[in-house]
Amino acid sequence: MQQEFYKYQGTGNDFVMIDNRLQTFDKNNTKHIAFLCDRRFGIGADGLILLENHDTYDFKMVYFNSDGNESTMCGNGGRCLVAFARDLGIITKNTVFEAIDGLHHAAITNDIVKLQMLDVDTIEKHENHVFLNTGSPHHVEFKDNIEDFDIKTEGAKIRYGAPYNEAGSNVNFVKKLTNDTFTVRTYERGVEDETLSCGTGVTAVAIAMHAINQTTSNNVNLNVQGGKLNVSFTKDTNGAYKNVWLVGPANFVFKGTI
């Protein structure tokens, strides 16, 4: 059977999008999803996202990494899905949709998507890194020579090592540029390589930098390999990060059948 697909990217984190409102897509066929994401034999993407109907909200997001396995929240994927929903005529500007980590409010203006992320109340501060969950698990570590660093090799060692082991974590390497601007490179679990951008990753970096006093700003700019993102938040009196918003471009690339 021919499958219609759409390709979107958000700061270079790219996704195959499928309109699954008629529930025709086989979600259990891991090999087929990995094939669709394969850059040589398939369409090529960091992940695949299904847009599905929801009883109460505008739509539902189902996310798979490029290895074919369903995974936790994808921030850039969520932003791209909002653009896809707008392009399909499901929404106009504002939306609320459900993903694996709960409800997300979002707004789209031209190609800029603003996506509300999970509240964060648990931040593990270790000697050389910070660990937190922004919808997906993230290890955050400073790396001064970030431009020349082997992200794939060094990221994999951390992702597969203790305490993460098989369940794994995404790994973000960070360099501070100014009080409110950081460079980030991310090794993504489930892609098992560096991606050009990671939305839950930069959200984790912005919150981690604030939590360890590396920024005094609650509006943080993140330079990633594929462009620029912004994360803003408020911190409540119990130390929880709320009203977390991830902002950046989300673009249609091409569509086809396979």
Binding site for ligand LBFN2T5F (CB under 6 A): 13, 65, 71-72, 74-77, 136, 170, 188-191, 195, 198-201
Give the number of other Cβ atoms within 10 Å of residue 180's Cβ.
Answer: 18
Q: Which of 99, 56, 55 is nearest to 80 (CA)?
A: 99
74 is catalytic: yes
37 is catalytic: no
CB of 71 to ligand LBFN2T5F, least distance (A): 4
Catalytic residue among 36, 140, 198, 224: 198
**Is the Cβ–Cβ distance between 91 and 58 less than 8 Å?**
yes
Is 170 annotated to bind ligand?
A: yes
Nearer to ligand LBFN2T5F, 155 or 201 (CB): 201
Q: What is the dihedral of CA 53, 3, 34, 73, to 10 degrees?
A: -20
Task: Find out whether 68 is annotated in a ligand binding site.
Answer: no
- What's the CA gap between 72 and 70, in Å, rounded? 7
Question: By the 8 A CB rule, do 199 and 78 touch?
Answer: yes
Q: By C-beta, is 198 or 222 nearer to ligand LBFN2T5F?
A: 198
- For ligand LBFN2T5F, give the closer residue by CB, 74 or 91: 74
CB of 253 vs ligand LBFN2T5F, minimal distance in Å: 16
Shortest Å distance, C-beta 55 to ligand LBFN2T5F: 25
Q: Which residues contact 118 (CB under 8 A, 6 or more apart)?
A: 73, 101, 102, 133, 134, 135, 244
The annotation status of 251 as a binding-site residue, yes or no, is: no
Catalytic one among 74, 99, 118, 191?
A: 74
Spatial separation of the C-alpha atoms in residues 64 and 46, rounded to whole Å: 9
Q: Is the Cβ–Cβ distance between 252 and 8 less than 8 Å?
A: yes
What minimum distance in Å lies between the beta carbon of 46 and ligand LBFN2T5F?
A: 6
Residue 254 Cβ vs ligand LBFN2T5F, minimum distance, rounded to whole Å: 20
Q: Is 78 annotated as a binding residue?
A: no
Q: How many CB atoms lie within 10 A of CB 128?
A: 6
* Residue 75 annotated in ligand binding: yes
76 is in an annotated binding site: yes
Query: Which residue in 188, 206, 189 sits closest to 197, CA to CA?
Result: 188
Per the annotation, binding residues are: 13, 65, 75-76, 170, 188-189, 199-200
Residues involved in catalysis: 74, 198
Q: Which residue positions form the known binding site for substrate?
A: 13, 65, 75-76, 170, 188-189, 199-200
